[in-house]
Amino acid sequence: MDKLPLFVFGPLAFAAALLVIATGIRRAIVKFRSRPTPEELKATYDSYLRRLLDPRPEAVEKELGKLLPERLLCLYEDKSAIQAAGFQLEEPGGKRWWPKRWQVYCFEPLDPESLNELPFEEELGPGFCFATTGRGSWYWIAASDQRAKDSPVIFLDYDGGRSHGETVANSLEEFLNLPRLPTK
């Protein structure tokens, strides 16, 4: 009687362990095989850069049914500024031992393709995610009926942090002028 659970549940436990091991091995093989080649990486980067340097604000505004802020349009006209990547913005006046930092991995192309790939926040209304952390979070700016000079920058954190919906800066101008540090 004491060996009955061993005979019944032993093979089940062994089969479950084999299933977990086989699944892990399969995932590792798929991950290894699905890596892009250097040529594919270069083609993806070239496509991104071409889209980034050829903004299509009219098409984005048409799709949104609203107008983007003037300051955002000026940002995309500045080809060197829009290509900046891999930096942190430090909020001035914070605690010295734990300053608030905002990571910026890269700017997103201003085109309908980006608009359709990026998140949409129903509560915030129409707007555009113009930059990303590269880890599932974006910097968003509102669109409006009348062309505004500037607009607050909102952080959309889909990475599980507590900063979702937090205002990073009262304007894009302020956001772009925060002190920059290299990413670590």
Q: Using CA atoms, how far apart are residues 112 and 120, in angstroms rounded to an integer? A: 13
The b-or-e profile of 42-61 (16+ CB within 10 A means b, else e) is: eeeeeeeeebbeebbbeebb
Residues 6+ apart with CB under 8 A from 77: 55
* Whole-number percent of the chain with pLDDT over 70: 92
What are the tens digits of pLDDT across the range 130-182? 999 888 889 999 999 999 999 999 998 877 767 778 899 999 999 999 988 87
Side-chain half-sphere exposure of 44, counting CA atoms within 13 A: 6
Q: What is the mean pLDDT of residues 13-33?
A: 80
**Contact call for residues 105 and 86 (beta carbons, < 8 A):** yes
**Contact call for residues 142 and 152 (beta carbons, < 8 A):** yes
pLDDT attached to residue 94: 59
Instruction: Kindly report the average pLDDT of the chain as a whole number.
Output: 86
The pLDDT-based confidence of 59 (bands split at 50, 70, 90) is very high
Nearest to 160 by CA among 133, 181, 142: 133
What are the tens digits of pLDDT across the range 151-165? 999 998 877 767 778
Please determine, for residue 22, whether its predicted confidence score (pLDDT) is greater than 90. no
Residue 19 has a CB neighbour count (10 Å cut-off) of 10
More confident residue, 120 or 71: 71
Q: What is the CA radius of gyration of the chain?
A: 23
Please determine, for residue 36, whether its predicted confidence score (pLDDT) is greater than 90. no
Please determine, for residue 82, whether its predicted confidence score (pLDDT) is greater than 70. yes
Please determine, for residue 125, whether its predicted confidence score (pLDDT) is greater than 80. yes
Please determine, for residue 21, whether its predicted confidence score (pLDDT) is greater than 70. yes
pLDDT attached to residue 93: 67
Lowest mean pLDDT among 24-28, 40-44, 97-101: 97-101
